[in-house]
Amino acid sequence: MRGGGGSVALAQGKRGRQVSKGATVSVIEGDGIGIDVTRAALAVAGAALAREGAAPLTLQPVRAGAGYYSETGHDIEPGGEEKAGEADAIFLGAIGLPAIRHADGTEISPHLRLRDRYQLYAGVRPVKAYPNAPQRLADPRAAGIDLVIIRESTEGLFYSAAVHGRAEVIGSEEVRETLRISRKTTEKLHDFAFRFAARRAEKGRSGQLTCVDKANVFTSMAFFRQIFDEVANRYPDVPRGYNYVDAQALDLVRQPWAFDTLVMENMFGDILSDLAGGLVGGMGMAACGEIGDAIGLFQPAHGSAPDIMGQDKANPLAAILSGAMMLDYLADTRGHKGYAAAAARIEAAVESGFAANALRPMEFGGDMGTRAVTQVLLDTIG
């Protein structure tokens, strides 16, 4: 990851202090509720930065998605992939509309190419229970769920989908998809995961890293675990564990509080992170960051929900928490002052909002739509 540096320009902060030039973010609002939740996330991030006297974000829009495809025949604007990567980070709302598809039946998904192009191999998906948010498990320990799924995001069973047309189609009788596990990418993934778990331990969590695979059946998964063990030798102080993916699905329902950080293949992570999100309320709480060596992409893990688009019903918290993750990333990799504090301010506002029962998203049966939830956080941040 790159660090910050170079000459800076000065700008005036909200509270009268001089602040250095901020980070540049490519913004893909996308489809459906992606537009509303993106604007909510960026408004809250902007307020938190201003409250810290930190430099504001420079936003660079990129048009992409199913709606854009229906208008132009392209899933992203000309030069959009290159433009997205020129920024310090990418923020994505949601992409895809079920009624708009390629001829082979698959949905429009230029974001998969962005993952592949910029090798965003580490998909970080926090799963945290908040007070007064729905908890689907009766056990009182469910109130303490606080784990992170780290999903490899460029290979695995999504390898064929990353660049449209990699699937092998044999007439009308058979389709074959390729599952790819490479040493280069998997070593980087596990190294990232061990470092991430170690940082969790520094903050008072158990810091145990669990390798989730299906090594008892698939050679590819045995290879995934082999590399995990090799990398583990460099982190003797990080406790580690193992679980087959089917057993892990069971354990996420039976005892999710027993886990801290989990690392896994792409498709396994796609499925288990949604399952885990359901334990702490739903996909409206599912934040996500996809990290590569040079850039990170941040997005809510939910879809575009076209059935409620434009109705002020979407829960924006997944996008808002993804925005906080982005600020943390920009502080860590670009050295922007005040960004980490702004991220912490957003997270604290969400925590306190739920604790005071001031956050009541419609997704959870409450009375607050996108704008009302956003306003509570803006008021709390000040």
How would DSSP label each residue in 342-359? HHHHHHHHHHHHHHTT--
> Is residue 277 classed as helix, strand or coil in its secondary structure?
helix
Query: Dmax of the chain from CA atoms?
Result: 67
Every domain range in the chain assigned CATH 3.40.718.10: 16-121+283-382, 135-279
The whole-angstrom distance between residue 268's C-alpha and the CA centroid of its chain comes to 15
pLDDT in tens, 229-238: 999 999 999 9
> In the prediction, which pLDDT does 165 show?
57
Which long-range contacts (C-beta less than 8 Å, at least 24 apart) are formed by 231-234? 231/187, 231/190, 231/191, 231/194, 232/190, 232/194, 234/191, 234/194
244, 249, 255, 259 alpha-carbon torsion, rounded to 10°: 60
Partnered with residue 209 across adjacent β-strands are: 240, 261
Mean pLDDT within 15-19: 39
pLDDT, tens digit (0-9, with 9 covering 90-100), for 21-51? 899 999 999 999 999 999 999 999 999 999 9
Question: Is a pLDDT exceeding 60 seen at residue 90?
Answer: yes
CATH 3.40.630.40 applies to domain 16-121+283-382: no
For the domain spanning 135-279, the CATH number is 3.40.718.10
Contacts of 165 (CB under 8 A, 6+ apart): none
Whole-angstrom Cα distance, residue 229 to residue 222?
A: 11
pLDDT at 311 over 50: yes
Active site residues: 159, 214, 246, 270, 274
Are 382 and 51 in contact, with CB atoms under 8 Å apart? yes
What is the distance in angstroms between the CA of the first residue and the CA of the last residue of the chain?
32
Which residue has better confidence, 274 or 8?
274
SS3 content of the chain, % helix, strand, coil (to 5): 45, 20, 40
Q: What pTM did the predictor assign? A: 0.90
